[in-house]
A and B are shown apart, each in its own frame.
Chain A
Amino acid sequence: MADDILETFFQYLLQTKREPANAIIDEWAKERSYREAVFKILEPALVRFGEKWSTEEDVSLAQGYIAAKIAEDIMTKAAMERPMDVEPESKGPVVIGNIEDDYHALGRKLVVIFLRSAGWKVYDLGNDVIAGDLIDKAVQVGAKVVGASAMMYTTAVNVKKLRKEIDSRGLSGRVKLAVGGAVFNLRPELVGEVGGDGTARNALAVPELMERLYDEASKG
């Protein structure tokens, strides 16, 4: 039964069918809970979707966008449930933003949704964020990972300023730098060039990256 619903839900994700995807979860949650649906349906479906997105060329940004919207819908419903048996946003915090001069917001917005869906506390500083502001926020909230998004090469090089800011404040090793965006997929060597500690091929792979970087930062 659960496998059938998981498969149907996964197909709705692929077909960008937001309403039917919500409806099937609403029906499931009537006799269980949205929180259970998150763990038993949403998360496994997103993992499968993420694998497909990373490896196959016919999964589109639009499908990722709708998957994020559906995840957000279900997480919102789960958050409304009382009593909650698990504290939401139990991981993190992390600070993210589009790097200085970059205004391509969609990828960052998807990352925020998928991170929050995976239980991360996220401080999203928006577009065109200068390095100092990202690090100020990370220090203020105790974030061990800072994420910088850039779509094009011309803006990706500004991530170097973030690396410099981390190093000059003596935070190397204790604050890790995640980088992402289309240009890093096209030119993976750019991750090292700008001083990144890691990247993810798409928004759904970011929670796993954050787990790894957070662990590394915790070990110092």
Chain B
Amino acid sequence: MNGMERVMAAMNGRPANRRAVSLVLSLYGARLTKCPLKLYYTDPAAYARGQSAVYNTFKPDILFAPFALPFEGEAFGSRVRYFEDQPPNLASPAINSADEIGRLCVPDIEDHPKLNFFRESIRLMAKEHGRDVPIAAIVLDPIGLSAMIMGLDGWLNTLLFDGEGVKRMLNLVIPYFADRANALLEEGASFIVIPGAVANPMIVSRSIVETTALPVLREAYALVNGPIVMHSGGAPLAPFIDMFTGLPNVAGFVLNGGDNLVRARDAAGRKALLIGNVDGPTLSKRSPEAIRSECMDVLLNRENDPCFILGTSGADIAYDTPPENIHAFLNAAEEEGGMATF
């Protein structure tokens, strides 16, 4: 079986020759190809070369399109800063409050250079690897995108006190979100991963999630022409997963490090895909043996769960992570493969 077949098996609850493995190695491709990050995050060919190196080195079961969420804010006018050893980050938002929404210009999905970087990267990745391995495109939902454009404090203030501002902002970003997600699917993305970092009761209150975020997500996700996997975005997801299970096109969830797997499965239902939940960004700080042991614990916990993919949680695996740590992760799945009972 190849990665595509393993992931499809997990999504459909069917047996596979071993557990599928998802490692967020978007950044790591730059290390493997010794590509400067400014080039890596602006040149689709450089990015695709990096992902080919990831595939050839580790054979993960999912490849990731650029994990560079601040670029979505940049397309609206936010300022982004590049680094030598980590993905770009948001330096300042495009606007600071709902009063400035009128200044925003919605970027052209077809023509914006930063958005084209994602599209072209996916096109190249799909051409090279699309038959063997699914390609995950990472897109912010309208609630998270608004924070990337307005800054978290400005957006929280709007969500809490300015219903009209919320409507004006979402009227701009919901159609943009759907067009962008569908454009990436057309280029060859297999599914859309959506970090729900803001639409989470740990960030905004449960009542805001229920009254504002869920209706927005319901409307926006229904416009997407492919499967969606909701990502914890770094906040606990297991306690709230039941809130998101009925959303249109949602096929599964990437859990947060520390989320209780049993609780997550109970809340998500038997058939939802779950991915997790070994913390990815800190893989560099553990020994290969410790990583293998942590992975085996996760696999043991999920040994009879066919809709589970062993994966890293959180953001990108760090640039300085030794390759042997990543191999240890993969080896755990190979090792379990022989004794899997699902």
A residues 33-57 near B (Cβ < 8 Å) are 57
Residues of B within 8 Å of A105, CB to CB, are 151-153
Judging by beta carbons under 8 Å apart, are B156 and A65 in contact? yes
Judging by beta carbons under 8 Å apart, are A57 and B161 in contact? no
| Shortest CB distance A188–B (Å) | 11
Q: Which one, B157, B205, B318, contacts A63 given CB within 8 A? A: B205
New A-B pairs, 15, CB < 8 Å, besides A62-B203, A106-B156, A152-B281: A16-B160, A61-B204, A62-B156, A62-B160, A62-B205, A65-B153, A101-B83, A101-B86, A105-B152, A153-B281, A154-B281, A154-B318, A186-B279, A187-B282, A190-B282
26 residue pairs bridging A and B, Cβ less than 8 Å apart: A16-B160, A18-B161, A57-B202, A57-B236, A58-B206, A60-B202, A60-B203, A60-B206, A62-B156, A62-B160, A62-B203, A62-B204, A62-B208, A65-B156, A65-B160, A101-B81, A103-B90, A103-B92, A105-B151, A105-B152, A153-B318, A154-B281, A154-B315, A154-B318, A186-B258, A193-B285
Give B67-103 as 1s and 0s: 1 = Cβ < 8 Å from A's Cβ atoms. Answer: 0000000000000010101100111100000000000
- The interface size bin for chain A is 20 to 34
The verdict on A66 contacting chain B, using a C-beta distance below 8 Å, is yes
Q: Which one, A57, A63, A187, contacts B239 given CB within 8 A? A: A57
| Shortest CB distance A135–B (Å) | 23
| Shortest CB distance B153–A (Å) | 5
B residues 256-304 near A (Cβ < 8 Å) are 257-258, 279, 281-282, 285
The 7 nearest A-B residue pairs measured at CB: A154-B86, A153-B281, A62-B204, A60-B205, A61-B203, A106-B152, A106-B153
The verdict on B220 contacting chain A, using a C-beta distance below 8 Å, is no
| Shortest CB distance A201–B (Å) | 12
The verdict on B201 contacting chain A, using a C-beta distance below 8 Å, is yes
The verdict on A121 contacting chain B, using a C-beta distance below 8 Å, is no
Residues of B within 8 Å of A153, CB to CB, are 281-282, 315, 318
Given the contacts A101-B83, A182-B234, A62 and B153 also touching, CB distance less than 8 Å: no
The verdict on B159 contacting chain A, using a C-beta distance below 8 Å, is yes
| Shortest CB distance B38–A (Å) | 15
For the complex, what is the distance from the CA of A187 to the CA of B201, rounded to whole Å? 21
For the complex, what is the distance from the CA of A52 to the CA of B23, rounded to whole Å? 35
The verdict on A160 contacting chain B, using a C-beta distance below 8 Å, is no
For the complex, what is the distance from the CA of A58 to the CA of B279, rounded to whole Å? 22
Give A168-200 as 1s and 0s: 1 = Cβ < 8 Å from B's Cβ atoms. Answer: 000000000000001100110010010000000
Residues of A within 8 Å of B315, CB to CB, are 152-154
| Shortest CB distance B144–A (Å) | 13
Judging by beta carbons under 8 Å apart, are B90 and A58 in contact? no
The verdict on A109 contacting chain B, using a C-beta distance below 8 Å, is yes
Considering the complex, give the chain A residue whose CB is closest to the CB of B319.
Answer: A154
Judging by beta carbons under 8 Å apart, are A186 and B153 in contact? no
A residues 94-121 near B (Cβ < 8 Å) are 101, 103-106, 109
| Shortest CB distance A38–B (Å) | 23
B residues 181-210 near A (Cβ < 8 Å) are 201-206, 208
Residues of A within 8 Å of B318, CB to CB, are 153-154
Considering the complex, give the chain A residue whose CB is closest to the CB of B147.
Answer: A106
For the complex, what is the distance from the CA of A153 to the CA of B320, rounded to whole Å? 12
Considering the complex, give the chain B residue whose CB is closest to the CB of A60.
Answer: B205
Considering the complex, give the chain B residue whose CB is closest to the CB of A65.
Answer: B156
Q: Which one, A16, A61, A101, A128, contacts B202 given CB within 8 A? A: A61
For the complex, what is the distance from the CA of A183 to the CA of B202, rounded to whole Å? 15
Residues of A within 8 Å of B151, CB to CB, are 105
B residues 16-54 near A (Cβ < 8 Å) are none
